[in-house]
Amino acid sequence: MIQNLPYIAVALLIIIGLYATIFKKNLIKIIMGITILESGVNLFLITLGYRKGAVAPIYTNLPEGTKVPQSLTFPVPQALTLTSIVIGVAVLALMLAIAVQIYRKYRTLDVTKIRRLRG
Amino acid sequence: MLERIFTGSGFWNPLIWLIAFVVSILIVLILRSLGRPGFKREGDKTKPFLCGNIKDIETISPRSENLYWGFRESLKGYYKVMERFHSGDIRDYIFWFIFVIVLLFLMEVL
Amino acid sequence: MIQHLPALIIALPLLTAFLMPLIGRISPTFRKLFAFIMIFLVAIIGILLVHEVHSKGIILYTFGAPQPGETTPSSLKIPVRIIFEIDGLGAFMVIVSIILAFTAMFYALPYFKEERGLDRFYALLFLLLAGILGMELTGDMFNFFVFLEIASISASALIAFCIDRSETLEAGIKYLAISSIGALFFLLSVGLLYGEYDALNMAMLAKSISNTFIDKMALILILGALLMKAGIAPMHMWLPDAYAEASPPVTLCVIAATQASMYGLLRMIFTIFHPSIDIAFLPALIIALSLITIGIGATMTLIQNRLTRAIAFAGVAEMGYILLGVGTAMYAGIKGYGEVALEGAIFHVLNDAIDMGLLFLVAGSVYLATRELDMNNLGGLARRMRFTAITFLIALLASSGMPPMNGFASKLLIYESTYALNPILSIIAILASILMLAIFVRIFYSVFLGPELPNLRDARDPPVLMLIPMLILSILIIFLGIFPSYAIDKLVDPAVRSLIDAKGYVSAVIGGG
């Protein structure tokens, strides 16, 4: 059970993120929802690479008597997560920048009113 | 010139099509030349007949909205649904995306 | 030099993108020249690459390896490095993207005159090109995700580029939000696959995937994300927004991004998941979705009053035709009429890109001449804009599938193969095509025919530099229409063969069979 806790957290984060994107009306809250969704996916990647009691795979800084590679965590998911975080920051920055411009034009962030493109 | 593509049940050769096209145009031209040679495009013969006192007949033309009016009128119910479907609301976009994934998931599990 | 082509074709647009702000400081003319030279170089590299693939078979490029072909490090058994793997399908898609990007850049150079921040515009355009090409060349799942995100970020920034108009902003954020959620689902399924098989390499995954529950979940998530990115109903709503509101050169590149997503779909389904995963309802569901897409796209085109938006909905229907071919091939397997269907679908990727591209370029010329896209306020433009009217006529005939244009050749392959599966499918497809023709005639009439409007008397054809890309696309349409077997033999058949030969894709990286 306790080993599965991170996966439950992942599921919760993804569900919260999706809930926010589908049911919230404020554009900023939708953007927050996307960011929470992204945190969920990142946590999932991190959890994949974790082993119980393992240390970070930094060869120059290993504690005495570490078994290589049995007691190291997987480095690949961490590299993936770092890349994904960087991409996530770019997406977040661009979305917020566009949201600011949208507020200037529409004078609102209510997505039920930001819909000139329809039909 | 074997410019044909086989589709399994037949083939498509654009060159044969072009030849057929040219031949049919020739037939049309021959038929046209059989017409009355003395016809003159003068007077009001070629103008459309309109009753009533309409001025500026040259500038009146149906606008884009009015074209295919009958088609739209007969499919009014469908288009009403479609306009509600294309609401322009960003949450609907995300909802339909999640909907398709959940649909695929449920179809697989059940 | 030749063996480093796959790296160069990505590196060159990236380098150009980040040099652009510096170059722009020198002079605007030099910036244009630089952009043109760079896109020309990228096109040449792309053509060389395609030539290499066709003459030598699958090209591998392993980043960080002593030799590009050395996929697996000597001390390990599995490929751990990022590998670019270019087969016939990848080469075909490179051609499609380069045609679109080249004409887009050609058109953009004279299109924007007084716009601010053109440095950033060109930088983003090259970044988008790098993302699209990366998606098409990579043989690594995570790398595909990264390029997908690069493409969506730069595309949405480009869509929202003209921030003076509020609609562009709206289209930009919608595109960005929906595609970043899609990409996150893609990443989730990459994580699932990595957790199960310890591999990110596509060939490695294709070898090890079996019919487990997690694999099915991964396939479903990937399918959902890529179908959405390809604009398949009911997830197509971002597509008309994005296509219609972006400026025409940007729209062309977004079309290339959509086609790259369609490529991803083909790659995932036929190379990675197809032989081992068995989801019984999937082909039927794909066919159903494609019919819905065709129907919605064709009927929604009718009620649009904005020129670009009407064309965009026609583009939705075209994506439906491609997916119909893919679904038929999935249903029948890639043999017999299934192979014909796949051939039609892949050929239609090229034709759809060219037809839609030309339609949007014409819409751009109309906008440039009249500053108006509402079809209610347009009319009689054929008197003043002869060339534009003729190119629009060619494009509308092609995209509604009239012989002898290129759209007909690929649609015929799709019709006849779906007829072998079920006649009703091809009847629906043909009816929708006829409807599209009727609707395009309406668009043509309301924009170009009829009496001349007094406020549009000084509309003129665009300058010669902008006519050249339109001319290139028109010539391609007619050439591919009259000599379709040329394109099919040279480009489409290698692509189909590489999809059939999924084992070859795997063994090129891992070795053995």
Contacts of A24 in chain B (CB under 8 A): 91
Return the number of other C-beta atoms located less than 10 Å from residue A4's C-beta. 11
B86, B91, B94 ranked by CB distance to A118: nearest: B86
Query: ipTM of this model?
Result: 0.95
**Which among C482, C488, C493 is the top mutation candidate for probing chain B, defined by the most B β-carbons within 10 Å of its own β-carbon?**
C482
A14, A87, A98 ranked by CB distance to C169: nearest: A98
Q: Is residue A38 part of a domain?
A: yes
Q: What angle do helix axes B76-85 and C282-302 make, rounded to 10 degrees?
A: 110
Asked if the Cβ–Cβ distance from C302 to B63 is below 8 Å, we say no
CA distances in angstroms from C489 to B5, C88, C94, C471, C486, listed in the order given: 10, 12, 17, 24, 5
pLDDT in tens, chain C (513 residues): 788 999 999 999 999 999 999 998 888 889 889 999 999 999 999 999 999 999 998 999 998 888 887 878 777 777 888 999 999 999 999 999 999 999 999 999 888 876 678 889 999 999 999 999 999 999 999 999 999 999 999 999 999 998 888 899 999 999 999 999 999 999 999 999 999 988 899 998 998 888 889 999 999 999 999 999 999 988 999 999 999 999 999 999 999 999 999 999 999 999 998 877 878 899 999 999 999 999 999 999 989 999 999 999 999 999 999 999 999 999 988 888 888 999 999 999 999 999 999 999 999 999 999 888 998 888 888 988 999 999 999 999 999 988 888 999 899 999 989 998 889 999 999 999 999 999 999 999 999 988 888 888 888 888 898 999 999 999 999 999 988 888 898 899 999 999 988 888 888 888 754
Token output for C404? 């002898």
Q: Within 13 Å, how many C-alpha atoms sit on residue C91's CB side?
A: 29
Is C156 part of the contact surface with chain A (CB cutoff 8 Å)? yes
Q: Is residue B5 part of a domain?
A: yes
Contacts of B16 in chain C (CB under 8 A): none
C182 and C229 Cβ atoms separated by less than 8 Å: yes
Asked if the Cβ–Cβ distance from C177 to B100 is below 8 Å, we say no
B88, B95, B98 ranked by CB distance to A115: nearest: B88
Quick check: helix, strand or coil at residue C62? strand
Asked if the Cβ–Cβ distance from A117 to B91 is below 8 Å, we say no
pLDDT band at B48 (very low <50, low <70, confident <90, very high): low
Given this model, what pLDDT does residue C450 score? 82
Asked if the Cβ–Cβ distance from A118 to B91 is below 8 Å, we say no
First-to-last alpha carbon distance for chain C, in angstroms, is 30
Token output for C201? 């390499």
Task: State how far Cα A51 lies from the chain centre.
Answer: 21
Given this model, what pLDDT does residue C81 score? 86
Residue A26: beta bridge partners?
A: A110
Average pLDDT over residues A35-63: 86
Q: Domain residues for A75?
A: 2-54+69-106
**Which among C127, C138, C153, C187 is the top mutation candidate for probing chain A, defined by the most A β-carbons within 10 Å of its own β-carbon?**
C187
- Integer Cα distance of B84 and C394 in angstroms: 34
Is C184 part of the contact surface with chain A (CB cutoff 8 Å)? yes
C49 and C111 Cβ atoms separated by less than 8 Å: no
- Whose tokens are 């891992």? That residue is C510
C177, C182, C442 ranked by CB distance to B68: nearest: C442
Q: Is residue A117 part of a domain?
A: no
Q: Is residue A118 part of a domain?
A: no
Size of interface A-C (CB pairs under 8 A): 87
Asked if the Cβ–Cβ distance from A117 to B88 is below 8 Å, we say yes
CATH code of the domain containing A21: 1.10.287.3510
Asked if the Cβ–Cβ distance from A37 to C171 is below 8 Å, we say no
Q: Is residue A39 part of a domain?
A: yes
Given this model, what pLDDT does residue C513 score? 46
- Integer Cα distance of A34 and A28 in angstroms: 10
- Integer Cα distance of B23 and C175 in angstroms: 50
What residue in A sits closest to C197 (Cα-Cα)? Answer: A48
Name the minimum distance, in Å, from the CA of B12 to any CA of chain C.
7
Return the number of other C-beta atoms located less than 10 Å from residue B29's C-beta. 9
**Which among A28, A32, A76, A87 is the top mutation candidate for probing chain C, defined by the most C β-carbons within 10 Å of its own β-carbon?**
A87
Asked if the Cβ–Cβ distance from B98 to A22 is below 8 Å, we say yes
Average pLDDT over residues B10-27: 89
Given this model, what pLDDT does residue C99 score? 95
Q: Would you call the peptide bond into C68 cis, given omega within 30 degrees of 0 as the criterion?
A: no
Task: State how far Cα C180 lies from the chain centre.
Answer: 18
Given this model, what pLDDT does residue B4 score? 66
- Integer Cα distance of C166 and A99 in angstroms: 11
Residue B6: beta bridge partners?
A: B11
Quick check: helix, strand or coil at residue B57? coil
Return the number of other C-beta atoms located less than 10 Å from residue A23's C-beta. 12
Q: How is chain C split into domains, by residue range?
A: 280-482
The count of domains in chain B is 2
Q: Is residue A62 part of a domain?
A: no
Q: Domain residues for B25?
A: 1-35
Is A70 part of the contact surface with chain B (CB cutoff 8 Å)? no
C427 and C357 Cβ atoms separated by less than 8 Å: no
SS3 letters across C281-299: CHHHHHHHHHHHHHHHHHH
Quick check: helix, strand or coil at residue C138? strand
C176, C184, C190 ranked by CB distance to A38: nearest: C184
Given this model, what pLDDT does residue B54 score? 66
Q: Which residues contact C492 (CB under 8 A, 6 or more apart)?
A: C92, C343, C346, C347, C350
Token output for B8? 């399994």
Asked if the Cβ–Cβ distance from C194 to A48 is below 8 Å, we say yes
What residue in C sits closest to B96 (Cα-Cα)? Answer: C235
Contacts of C278 in chain B (CB under 8 A): none
Given this model, what pLDDT does residue B53 score? 65
pLDDT band at B11 (very low <50, low <70, confident <90, very high): confident
Asked if the Cβ–Cβ distance from A94 to C244 is below 8 Å, we say no
The count of domains in chain A is 1
Query: Residue-wise over C9-25: b if at least 16 C-beta within 10 A, else e?
Result: bbebbbebbebbeebbe
User: Which DSSP string do the residues of C313-372 spell out, in sequence order?
Assistant: HHHHHHHHHHHHHHHHHHHH-SSTHHHHHHHHHHHHHHHHHHHHHHHHHHHHHHHHHHS-
Asked if the Cβ–Cβ distance from C484 to B99 is below 8 Å, we say no
- Integer Cα distance of C131 and C146 in angstroms: 8
